Structures are given as C-alpha cells and as structure tokens.
Structure 1
Amino acid sequence: MQKNKFNLQDKVTSLLWPDETGLSPFHLLLLKILRVVYVSVTDLMEGQLSLRAMSLVYTTLLSIVPLLALSFSVLKAMGVHNEIEPFLFQFLAPLGEQGTQIGENIIGFIDNIKVGVLGSVGLGLLIYTVLSLVQKIENAFNMIWHVETTRSIGERFSSYLSVILIGPVMMVSAIGVTATIMSSSIVTYFATIEPFGSLIVLATKLLPYLMVMGAFTFIYMFVPNTRVRLSAALIGAIVAGFLWESSGLLFATFVVNSTKYTAIYSSFAVVIMLLIWLYISWLILLFGSNLAFYVQNPSSLRVDRGGFEISNRVKERIALLLMQLVGEKHYAGEKPPTMADLTGDISAPHTVVRYVLKKLIAQHLVIGTNETPVAYLPAKSLDVLLLSDVIQAVRCAEEDHFLAANVLTLKSQSLELVNGIDKAISASLGNKTVRDLVVDSKQQ
C-alpha cells in the first residue's frame, strides 16, 4: 500500500512538474494552478491544518462571549449595538433553528456582562481573554507562513485591540453604506429597467460572498506576522469565501436532515452541531491562508511533504546568494531585505532559505532587525566578512551538536581527506570578502 502511494505521488509529480521548455503561457498557467491546488489539498489531508482548526474551536468557545461583549460595548457607545446581532445570526444560520437558539443565548450572556461595572481587574481579564484568542489565531497563521517570530507585546496590544474595537464599527458602517446605496432612488429606478434589474438582483445575491471575501482578505493580510501581497491574499480569500458560503448551505441541509443525531444526543445535539460548524469554518479559513502562501511563494511547492534534503553544494550556493543579496542592499544603502524578499529573489523554497539563513545568523555573519517583519543586515563590515567563513558556516553547521568528537576524528585518513577539502576551499577563495562578491556582481 505504501509503495503504491509513493508511485502515485511520483506520477502526479512528474505530470505537474514536467520540462517546461516550449510550453505555451496558457499551459504554464494551468500547471501553476494545478500545482497550488495539489499541494494545498495535500497539506489539508496531512492533518496539520485540521489540528490547528480543532485547537481554535476550543479557544473560540472560551472567548466568543468576551469578544462579542467587548465589541458590543464599543458599538453600544455609538448607538449601533443592535447591528451586531445580524452578524452573529448570519454566522449561525447553517445551524437552522438551533443556531437561532444559540445566538439568543449568546446575546443573553453578553447582556449579563456589564463592561462598565466589571472594574479594572475584570476588564483586564476580559481583554486578556480576547487577546489570547487573537494571539492563538496569529500563531496558526504564522505556522502556515513559516514565521517563527510573533509580534511583541506592545504590538499585539495595539494591533489586536484596534481591530477588535474598530473592526465592528467598520463592518457596521460598510453594511449601512451598502443598505443606503441599495435603497437609494437611483438604484430603485434602475431596478425597474432590464437588464439592470436582473444585475441588481444578482449583485444582492453575491453581496454576502463579496463581504466574506473582503473580510478574509483583510485577515490574510493582517494576521500573519509577515508581509502578504494583496494579490495572494485576494486569491486565497476568493476560494475560502466561496467554500465558506457554499459549505454553509450544505451544512444547513445536513442539519435539517440530521433528525437521528437529535434523537441520539437530545439537547447535546445543538452543541455538537456548533462544534462541527466552528471546525469547518476555521478549517476553511486556514485553508485559504495556506493557499495564499503558495500563491505568494511558488518555490515552496516542491518541498518534500516529509521534510527536505539538500546537498552541501546547494547549501553553499544559497549561502553565497544570501550574503550577496544582503550585502548588495547594504552596500547600496537600500532597505534591508526580509525573508519574503530573499525567498523571491533566490526562487528557492521558503524552508530551505530559512534553514541556511539560520546557519549564517548562528555564525554571526547576518543579523536580524527589530522591525516587523524582520529584515536582515550584514553582522560586520563587508570588508571583513570572508567568503570562506560563509562556506564554512554551512559546511560545519551543528557538527558538535549531532556528532560526538570521536566520530569526527575516528579515522585519521578520512580526517585528512576532509581537511584537504577545507584547505582547497580556503585556498580557492583566499582573502575574498563579501564586498568583492557584491562589487563583482555590480560590474557584470
């Protein structure tokens, strides 16, 4: 069975990554789309996204009431607090009558939370609960985008609260503007004229899809602690938004026909349906972000699903390229490159670039900035960064950690051969520095 699985994967890989020489632009575009779809579905089936979605379901159950209470209090201060209920009932609509019951219970819980009388400690705990939910969401998105650094405490507090407090106001304002436009005399007049009337009806039906896609686009661009291009976020949001709205219709049908579950679980059936719907919603949201990652980083599509293996020669080439790119930006006085910049310029998988970059940082050849996202600078002057040190940084990386000293010196003859290779590399590179590499590349 395992052998057949590998054979199938090899066949699919050979079909999706053929020799591109002589292929038409349409054929190349079709291959890129199929590659992104294939790798995204493979990631979904491997279960990592599913585990993150299940974790977020648990966190959502703990934080949904404090989150809505905080947003409700802001909207109430502006006199538009009643607008939050349609959002909640729309999200729970696939649950049918049970969704209405759950929504009414949540609204009741929110009414019982009087933010004004909680006191400083109670309000602090309320805000902490909400921020914990958003932080866990960020961690899930950072995992998808292979980002290891999270936002600082100050950034989390300011960014998260601004979205939590201003986001509902913006959504309510957008719905109000949309309702005003749709009810205006101009739209009413054109609604009586064909084909404008049919187009307006179609736009009304598409409006929920467009609003969900717009919200997903914002989430995909804001939540990960890295720079996400609008085009990648938009493509992921279009797919995820369509899946979310469509799955809502299918799930509503499932709930209507699930009389057996109600008979078996009785009143617990409502909770079970809510858990399933939350899981589906989070899974679709994470899937869209995963899709956006591959759209923005097509070089990561070919990374082995079980990890990656690269030769020393490839490590050395990537290390020299990284030092050249970082050195060129620094030499020209330009803005330091981020991980996304380096990955795009090298056209290598994100995980491979990050792996080699870590070795250069560990050997104090490159340092990261305190910016968000992190950018990279030479750790020393380009005149003193030897190219031989760059090569040794990846050739000798973590030897002491993985190999005992007696293994490295076990055979004197083998040791002499390895030392001979190191000496040959040092003799070939001599005293050449990163500055020489940068200047030579400028002159070519």
Structure 2
Amino acid sequence: LLKGFGAQNVLEPFLLNNLGIGSQDAVAEIFRYIENTQFGRLGAIGLIVLVLTVLALLSNIEKSFNHIWRVQETRTLMRRFADYFSVVLLSPLLILAAVSISTSLQSQTLVLKLLETAYVGEALLLLFKLIPFVVMWAAFIFLYLFMPNTRVRIQAAVIGGMAGGTLWQLLQWGYVHFQVGVGKYNAIYGTMAALPIFIVWLYLSWMIVLLGVELTYAVQNIGTMSQDLGTDKVNFACRQRLALTVLVLTGESFYRGEKAWSRERISEDLKLPPRVVSELLDDMVRLNLMAVLCDEGGECLCYQPGRALDALTVQGLFQELRQDGASYPQNYRLPTRELVGDLEMEMQQAEQGALGALTVQDLVLRRIADKGKEEGKE
C-alpha cells in the first residue's frame, strides 16, 4: 500500500540516516527487494490469501479487544470490512506522514538556518523528536476507539493511546539500538540473534497494545473498577434480582418511548461492575429475555426487552434462570431422586402460589404509577 504512494523514496533516506547505522548495505538490499515487488504479480489466489490473512489478523485483534471490554457481540460482515479497511488504510498513511514530515522539515533551507539559532533550534529538534510520538499516539487512539465493538469515550482512548504509543515508540528505539549493537559486536552471532530479538520485540509490542486497551478500559470504568476487581462470582439470588431489575427498567423506558439502556448506563445507574453487567446481559440475550439494538453499521448500542412483558411472568423468569445451563438427564439415578424431586415440586408450587400470574409488565406499570404519584405530590 505504501509503495503505491511512493513511500520508499521517503523511507529509504530516513532509514539510512537513523536505522541503518553499520547496516546501510542491508537497508539498501531491502529497498531493492521492495522496488522489485509488484503487487500485480500476486494473482487472484495470492490476493485472496493476502486479504483473508489481513482479515483474520484484525479479527483476532478485535476479539482480544472485545474480551478486555467484556463484549460478546461481533460486528456484521459489512461493518467488519469497512472498519478493517479503515485500519489497514490509515495506519500506513500515519507512518508515512510521520516520516515525511520529519524528513521534509529537516531538509528545508529555512529550517536548517533556524536550527543554528539559539533556543529556536533546540525547540525544532524537540519537535522533530516528538513527531513520531504524536503519530503513534494518533494511531493507537484510532485503534482503541474503533476496534472494540462498543462505545469508547474519547478521553479514555486518548489516555490509553498516548500511554501505549509512548511505550511502543520507546520499545522501537530500544529494539533498533540493541539490534545494531549486537550486529556491531559480532557479525556471525549478531545475524543469528536477529530472529529471536525480533520475536521478543513482536511479543512485547503486542503486550503494549493490550496494556493500552486495559488502561483505556480502566479509565472509562474508573468509578466501578474497584468493584470489578474485588467481585467474585455472583450468587444465584443476586442474579435473579438483577435480571428482574434490568427487565423492569428497560421495560419502563420502552413503554414510555424513551431511549433504550446501554451497558454503561446500567452499570453506572445500578452501581454495578461492568463485568457483572456484561455477563448478565449476555446471558439474558442468549435466553431471549433481552434484545440488542444495533445501528445501521451493526454496532451494538443498547438493550430492550426481548419478549412481550405481559406474557412473561416473574415466576417464569426465575424458572428460566434456574434452568439455564447443563443438567443431568431426568433418568439419572440418584439415591434421593424421588425425595429431592418431591421437595423441588413443592417449592415450585409455593413460588407459584406466592407470585401467581404476576408479570413483568405488572411491575413496570406499578413503577410508572408510583413515579406519577411522587411527581403529583411535588
């Protein structure tokens, strides 16, 4: 992609001056190889393999980001293609912009004269050093904003992107200087060490990217992060209570014609850890208790009840939650199968007698009526 913009003409002098210390011949050989590379020679099969490889790589990156953000929903195929194309197109252009701006400014006659001026020259040198950092910040911020399949606040993405971009740039500087130093120390062992050093650099680069995602997630959920870290598995009674609460709140907004609830709103209003909310909503969507609302591009935004609330009884809701998951066959022989089965039947009958035909819609209408009375008193 960069070759189509003539990037090799800009990158070659930059690498020869900065990265090719003691290795100018190797750098020149690499660019001769790039110059002889023709995209058209890939053919149809090669092009398909290349596209599938890029899509698979970006898909795995998205899955890793979504795992950190506790997001289970995936983008639609068209949304993936559009977002992945943006990442593939923008990232090389940002790299080219960083190098082009830096090298072009340093070659200008006026800039060269200003470099000889006190204070101004020092400021320009500092600017030249900051340009790669700024571009990497922009690349990381863009990645953290658009790659997770959820809404990421700009402030959180900026903090995570600047931290990740800075660490990655420092790692790049250390990798280049260490690689060159090893090559100078011993030509034979320096060449043998190139591959393991590159693998370590690749591993650390990926760790930095994920660390930036974790930081972005922590900044956006700073209010409930301490709860999230100290939260164990939610017990069943709490799960029932939260599921009914979420259905009543989202049902009320649905009946009033108000905006649907997002994960973030549920977490903030109920003071719940994001992990608990994500796991609960994912289970409720799987049971068709909740429905996910997506925009035209396939991005999942908000949630609303997945069934008619007048047909969903509270007792039926609790029973579905209890029966969620794997179960032994009914004919599984237990020593106390009849005794436990009879007791379970009595409990269900008692619950049915206490709750009767009470539906979730009844609770929603009761809540709306109670709020109307409170507003009337005021």
Rounded to whole Å, the distance in 2 between the matches of 1:128 and 1:389 is 46
Tell me the SS of whatever aligns to 2:160.
Answer: helix
Q: Give 1:116 deviation, angstroms.
A: 3.2
Tell me the SS of whatever aligns to 1:156.
Answer: helix
Tell me the SS of whatever aligns to 2:304.
Answer: strand
1:437 corresponding residue in structure 2: 363
**Tell me, which stretches of 5 or more residues in structure 1 are unaligned?**
1-69
Q: Give 1:408 deviation, angstroms.
A: 8.3
> Aligned letter for 2:148?
P
Q: Which deviations, in whole Å up to 9, do the C-alpha atoms of 1:307-332 show, x marking residues without a partner?
A: 94221121112212321343233223
Rounded to whole Å, the distance in 2 between the matches of 1:142 and 1:319 is 23
1:387 to 314, 319, 328: 314
What is the TM-score of this pair, normalised by structure 2?
Answer: 0.77
1:218 to 142, 145, 159: 142
Kept in 1, the 8 Å contact 2:138–2:161? The answer is yes
Q: How does 1:37-436 map to 2 (within 5 A)?
A: 70-73=1-4, 75-76=5-6, 82-83=9-10, 89=15, 93=19, 97=22, 104=28, 106-169=30-93, 172-173=96-97, 199-252=123-176, 254-255=178-179, 258=182, 265=189, 267-298=191-222, 299=224, 301-303=226-228, 308-369=232-293, 371-373=298-300, 375-398=302-325, 401-405=326-330, 406=332, 410-436=336-362
Kept in 1, the 8 Å contact 2:156–2:220? The answer is yes
2:374 corresponding residue in structure 1: none
Rounded to whole Å, the distance in 2 between the matches of 1:189 and 1:221 is 38
Tell me the SS of whatever aligns to 1:309.
Answer: coil
Kept in 2, the 8 Å contact 1:235–1:292? The answer is yes
Q: Answer with 140-149 or 164-173: which moved more.
A: 164-173
Q: Give 1:272 deviation, angstroms.
A: 1.9
Rounded to whole Å, the distance in 2 between the matches of 1:149 and 1:190 is 53
Q: Answer with 261-270 or 174-183: which moved more.
A: 174-183
> Aligned letter for 1:403?
Y
Aligned length: 363
Kept in 1, the 8 Å contact 2:182–2:190? The answer is no
Rounded to whole Å, the distance in 1 between the matches of 2:2 and 2:239 is 50
Closer, same or farther: CA 133–355 of 1 in aligned 2, 3 Å: closer
Rounded to whole Å, the distance in 1 between the matches of 2:13 and 2:357 is 69
Kept in 2, the 8 Å contact 1:300–1:348? The answer is no
Closer, same or farther: CA 412–365 of 1 in aligned 2, 3 Å: same
> Aligned letter for 2:160?
G
Q: Is the radius of gyration larger for structure 1 or structure 2?
A: 2
What is the TM-score of this pair, normalised by structure 1?
Answer: 0.67
> Aligned letter for 1:376?
Y
Kept in 2, the 8 Å contact 1:338–1:373? The answer is no
Q: Give 1:288 deviation, angstroms.
A: 0.8
Closer, same or farther: CA 250–114 of 1 in aligned 2, 3 Å: closer
Tell me the SS of whatever aligns to 1:377.
Answer: strand
**Tell me, which stretches of 5 or more residues in structure 2 are unaligned?**
372-378
Q: Give 1:177 deviation, angstroms.
A: 6.5
Kept in 2, the 8 Å contact 1:72–1:84? The answer is no
Closer, same or farther: CA 250–415 of 1 in aligned 2, 3 Å: same
Tell me the SS of whatever aligns to 1:267.
Answer: helix
Rounded to whole Å, the distance in 1 between the matches of 2:169 and 2:288 is 50
Rounded to whole Å, the distance in 2 between the matches of 1:281 and 1:304 is 26
Rounded to whole Å, the distance in 1 between the matches of 2:350 and 2:43 is 71
Large movers: runs of 4+ above 6 Å? 177-191
Kept in 2, the 8 Å contact 1:365–1:385? The answer is no
Tell me the SS of whatever aligns to 2:358.
Answer: coil
Q: Answer with 175-184 or 276-285: which moved more.
A: 175-184
Q: Answer with 184-193 or 116-125: which moved more.
A: 184-193
> Aligned letter for 1:433?
T
Q: Answer with 230-239 or 149-158: which moved more.
A: 149-158
